């Protein structure tokens, strides 16, 4: 599976206190987005549940995440698209 940059739906992030949610954080980048300010994107996940998290967006102070990707490579492709393109 390869990442295709079509409309991403952002979902509430995994709560930190959820049992069994061993989330590991990897690459991180900040990007200035007009109307939202500086947004931090992070590749995170593990065990077939990889995603990209964003720190906030506009009026939302809470982190959000993309859908789950089956592997880290696809999540990294999404991360590169969001953080650098």
Query: pLDDT tens-digit profile of 10-48?
Result: 888 877 666 666 778 899 999 998 887 888 999 999 888
Q: Is residue 10 part of a domain?
A: no
Q: Is residue 8 part of a domain?
A: no
Q: Which of 74, 83, 53 is nearest to 4 (CA)?
A: 74
Q: pTM value?
A: 0.82
Tokens of 54: 């964003």
Q: Is residue 12 part of a domain?
A: no
Q: Is residue 18 part of a domain?
A: no
Distance in angstroms (rounded) separating the CA atoms of residues 23 and 41: 15
Query: Domain count of the chain?
Result: 1
For residue 77, the enclosing domain spans 23-84
Tokens of 29: 């980048």
Q: Is residue 1 part of a domain?
A: no
Q: Is residue 43 part of a domain?
A: yes
Q: Is residue 61 part of a domain?
A: yes
């Amino acid at each position: 599976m390869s990442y295709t940059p079509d409309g991403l739906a952002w979902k509430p992030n995994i709560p930190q206190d959820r049992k069994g949610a061993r989330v590991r954080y990897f690459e991180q980048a900040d990007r200035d987005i007009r109307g939202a300010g500086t947004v931090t994107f992070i590749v995170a996940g593990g065990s077939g549940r990889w995603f990209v998290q964003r720190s906030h967006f506009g009026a939302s102070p809470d982190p959000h995440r993309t859908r789950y990707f089956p592997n880290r490579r696809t999540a990294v492709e999404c991360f590169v698209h969001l953080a650098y393109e």
